[in-house]
Chain A
Amino acid sequence: MTLSVQGLSKAYSAAGARALDDFSLDFPADQCTVLLGPSGCGKTTVLRSIAGLIRPDAGRITVDGAAVFDTATGVDVPPEKRRLGMVFQSYALWPHLSVAENIGYPLVAAGVARAEVARRTAAMLEWIGLPGMGARYVHELSGGQQQRISLGRAMVAKPRAILFDEPLSNLDARLRERMRLELLALRQQAPFTSIYVTHDQLEAMTLADRVVVMRAGEIEQVGSPEEVYKRPRTRFSADFVGIPNLLEATVRSAAGADLVVDTVVGALAARSWRSDWRAGARCTVAVRPTLLTVQAGGRSGRVVRSVFQGASTIELVDFDGTEVTIESLGEERHAPGSTVSMKPAPGAVFAVLDD
């Protein structure tokens, strides 16, 4: 099963900026594709267009090669005929129905026989870890349980793909982490095609087979979580996956895409997305805080602040007016005002940004 989107555009007001601009992407079968970006980047518009809940201005959406939406041919299959599942931000569980009725709803809507509905609903309750809770009502359950019911409802009719619209953002931090791991475990048990929208980079990193960073209605970068995190392509991507240090650098030497660059913290090995570099050119390097270590002494940097945060220590060091964030697992802290120097972790390669 593959789901594919081509040339999707959508503007919410005639004059306003486009929420989506010529957006094209394939969603491979049995993989989880995460659309990552800040609010207003168009990720939810993509998801709701695929579900059929909003109508794009232009473009084509196919499931298994058959168009469910196409402005060229005028095809627009209504949401109830697209055979998709969706997990909503607000869970969207119906308060007037019991848990079992909520989960069994897609089966009833599809005309499945009553005994079969009961059987599959019970099996689904078992699978999401809420056996025997079918007779309860939604308001009696916790946020995490409600989220699981929402997932059960989305999966029960064996949809062609499951769409997740920021499903964990209403949970508190601890529960969010647990649900994230549970979701991962469920997916590993029985893989299914899913499209997951979030603005939380940690969720994206954990759950995705493929991360799509979006910005202002367009794709900024596509890659595996590791790839996007280790080699952000642009300033925006780097910022969004949580890399605070974007340092101005000068190319010392270049061998194709592999460079050695000079920065305020010293010489660093770096890899670029391009290979047309010459010595002396200027560029920006994304420096992850965990790949630097602080050494007492030296002359180059002055500690501004040192923050103990339990598992790690964050130190903010000023190098000639450029503030650099360093995160270390060690418990050694440096007094504010003391001078330090910086060393990259052995073998570390940093990303050179395109813009």
Chain B
Amino acid sequence: MVAVLAVIMVSYPVVVVTLRAISKQEIGSALTFEWISALVDSARSREALLNTLIYTAGATVLAMGLGVLLAFLSTRTDMPGGRVIGFLALLPMLVPPFILVVGWVAIADPAAGFINIAASALTGSRTSWVSINTMAGLIWMTGLFLTPYVYLMVAAGFRNSDAAMEEAARVSGAGRLRLLYSIVLPLQRPALLAALLLVIIMAAGDFIIPATVGLKAKIYMLPSLIWQNHASFPHRPGLAAAQSLLLVVVGLLCIYFQRRALSRGGRYTTVGGKGARPMLFSLGRLRYPLGVLALLFALSSSVIPLLAVGCMAFMRYWSPYALKPENLTLRNFNYMLFEYPQVWPSAQHSLFLGIAGATACVALAIALAWYVIRARGRLAGIVDYAMVLPLGIPGIALGVGILSLWILVPGGIYGTLWILLLAYVTAHIPVAMQFVGSALHRIHTELEDASRVSGQAWAGTLRRIDIPLMAPALIGSWLLMYVVILREVSLVILLYNPSTIVLSVGLMDVWQNGFYPELAVYSLLLLVLGVIPVALLWKFARFS
């Protein structure tokens, strides 16, 4: 029952998006191919297609290059500070991307960015060295945001590589360079391929950067255009659905190939592997220069933008000449926290949705993981496959799918907080299930058998044996769900209305008003709401 509902929940958005893309009006009206052909017939759509392609390619190359390089340098070389750089490289995952966008605006705005202010001060006249409002700027930000995902997927492989295989290559006469390109990197091929496909999906479906800096710079991309086709005149939801369908197809193809790469990775796994630590490549004279460079990149992916946001939050106004001590003020905090009408309702909604959504995801994940792994129900295979779908569907496209169905149901959940909750659970259940599933896999079935034979029925066994044993994974996945729900924008941008606004979407409003110092305060609030419960729970979980 739960399994059937879960499969329907994750698969109907794809069907709905497809139907909507070939329907003239709402689903059920006459069929047409005008939206599909408008993908390339409309000049704006064509432009967005090309931009999305360039943006995705650029961000993917940057993230892969940076991620693999940082992972290699920090795990497999004698570069100083490897551990610190490894930590810094992962830090952006904890920070809502919106804050980083605000940070980069503060740093590299063509007029008032810190870099250009410094340049003006040096040259004595108004100059603009760098601009974030360019395709290069967009690629730079996205590349940095995606680097931690590459790092995470590749660094573990580097760290756990089997020293014996490399020693065998050395003994067989391979030099360091040959060892690197003939053994070390090829052994990571499945992880590299999986990371590559993940980054392509995330870049192509990324919403926040195209919809903020991208629109400001008039660089149109598919996700931002989908939003515009819904939210502003002329309304063209059919075209939006066709554009979503294109993203969904690309995303699902990537997911398919990623799964295949990971499952074929089996032949790369080696027996044992618990040998000596693999040897560290010596960088020689490049040790320190490379260390400084890596540190700079690692810092610029989170710490530097965060500092810039913090700085901006205290400024009375945001202009090229505003960076003076007399312009520092707490007024922004006072205004945003106590006077801005939207802030507390949206904070309440965000907290409710974060807590309820994370709890629902984890509870459903326990039920589904149990069904697939232990009960091996008849639908186990289907559930397992279906749960992969949302991973390949960009948030904005999932939003289109959910919207297009529920808008048809009169008196339904459309326009309430429940549709947001449904969207969050649909989008994030696969990740929660991966966490819970791998935790359940690690519990030896004899631990459950022993409980059954001892007189405890399956429900009691789940409660007294499995859930306590999975507790760290359950808490971890709950926290992750909470944090990603809090920061989610693309998924709910089409589903909220003024009475259900959430913090992350409220940020988009403030962005469009253009009050950057207030935006900085607002985004810091989002960061604090995300980080404080995580820190508290983490501490509580550690010491209990």
Contacts and interface: CB of A to CB of B under 8 A. Distances in A.
B449 A79 contact: yes
A80 B457 contact: yes
B382 interface: no
Interface string B452-484: 111111101000010011010000000000000
Interface in B162-213: none
A157 B455 CA distance: 9
A79 to B, nearest CB: 4
Contacts of A163: 453
B453 A89 contact: no
B18 interface: no
Contact of A106 (B444, B447, B454, B468): B454
A95 interface: yes
A326 interface: no
B454 A96 contact: no
Interface in A276-293: none
A124 interface: no
B456 to A, nearest CB: 4
A153 B465 contact: no
A12 interface: no
Given A94-B465, A95-B469, A86 B451 contact: no
Interface string A72-87: 0000001111111110
B528 interface: no
The secondary-structure label for the interface of chain B is helix
Given A90-B446, A92-B446, A94-B469, A51 B453 contact: yes
Contacts of A52: 452-453
Interface string B417-460: 00000000000000000000000000010110111111111101
B449 A92 contact: yes
B449 A78 contact: no
Contacts of B455: 80-81, 83, 106, 109-110, 157
A83 B451 CA distance: 12
B446 A78 contact: no
B312 to A, nearest CB: 47
Contacts of A84: 453
Contacts of B468: 96
Nearest to B455: A109
A157 B453 contact: no
B456 A153 contact: no
B452 A79 contact: yes
Contacts of A153: 450, 454
Contacts of B469: 94-96
Nearest to A156: B454
A307 B451 CA distance: 48
A236 interface: no
Nearest to A82: B453
A109 B456 contact: yes
The secondary-structure label for the interface of chain A is loop
Interface size class on chain A is: 20 to 34
Nearest to A153: B454
A51 B460 contact: no
A86 B449 CA distance: 9
B446 A88 contact: yes
Interface string B498-509: 000000000000
Nearest to A51: B453
Given A92-B446, A96-B469, A85 B453 contact: yes
Contacts of B444: 90, 92
B305 to A, nearest CB: 41
Interface string B350-372: 00000000000000000000000
Nearest to B450: A92
A83 B455 CA distance: 7
A105 interface: yes
Given A94-B469, A96-B468, A96-B469, A80 B446 contact: no
A325 to B, nearest CB: 35
Interface size class on chain B is: 10 to 19
Which residue, B453, B455, B471, has most C-beta atoms of chain A within 10 A?
B453
A81 to B, nearest CB: 8
B453 A53 contact: yes
B310 to A, nearest CB: 42
Interface in A86-104: 86, 88-90, 92-96
Contact of B451 (A81, A89, A105, A157): A105
Nearest to A157: B455
B454 A105 contact: yes
Which residue, B451, B454, B468, B471, has most C-beta atoms of chain A within 10 A?
B454
A53 B451 contact: no
B456 A80 contact: yes
Contacts of A53: 449, 452-453
B159 to A, nearest CB: 25
Contact of B446 (A81, A89, A154, A157): A89
Contacts of B460: 80, 109
Contacts of B456: 80, 105, 109
Contacts of B471: 96
Interface in A101-129: 105-106, 109-110
Interface string A230-273: 00000000000000000000000000000000000000000000
Contacts of A85: 453-454
Contacts of B453: 51-53, 79-80, 82, 84-86, 154, 163
B58 to A, nearest CB: 48
Contacts of A105: 451, 454, 456
Contacts of A90: 444, 446
B449 A51 contact: yes
A79 B446 CA distance: 13
Nearest to B451: A105
A57 B63 CA distance: 55
B360 to A, nearest CB: 25
Given A92-B444, A94-B469, A96-B469, A109 B454 contact: yes
A79 B450 CA distance: 10
Contacts of B449: 51, 53, 79, 86, 88, 92
A88 B449 CA distance: 9
B450 A86 contact: yes
Given A53-B449, A86-B449, A94-B447, A78 B457 contact: yes
Nearest to B452: A79
Interface in A38-79: 51-53, 78-79
Contacts of A89: 446
Contacts of A88: 446, 449-450
A51 B445 CA distance: 14
B134 to A, nearest CB: 55
A157 B454 CA distance: 8
Which residue, B455, B456, B457, B465, has most C-beta atoms of chain A within 10 A?
B455
Which residue, A81, A93, A96, A163, has most C-beta atoms of chain B within 10 A?
A96
B445 to A, nearest CB: 9
A226 B447 CA distance: 36
Interface string A148-178: 0000011001000001000000000000000
A304 B457 CA distance: 61
Contacts of B450: 86, 88, 92-94, 153
B145 to A, nearest CB: 38
Nearest to B471: A96
Which residue, A94, A95, A110, A153, has most C-beta atoms of chain B within 10 A?
A94
A53 B445 CA distance: 10
Contact of A92 (B447, B457, B458): B447
A302 B156 CA distance: 61
14 contacts: A53-B452, A78-B452, A78-B457, A79-B449, A79-B453, A80-B454, A84-B453, A86-B449, A86-B450, A90-B444, A94-B447, A96-B469, A106-B454, A109-B451
For the complex of A and B, 3 pairs with smallest distance between CB atoms:
A92-B446, A106-B454, A92-B450
Given A80-B455, A109-B460, A154-B453, 10 more contacts: A51-B449, A85-B453, A88-B450, A92-B450, A94-B469, A95-B469, A96-B468, A106-B455, A109-B451, A109-B456
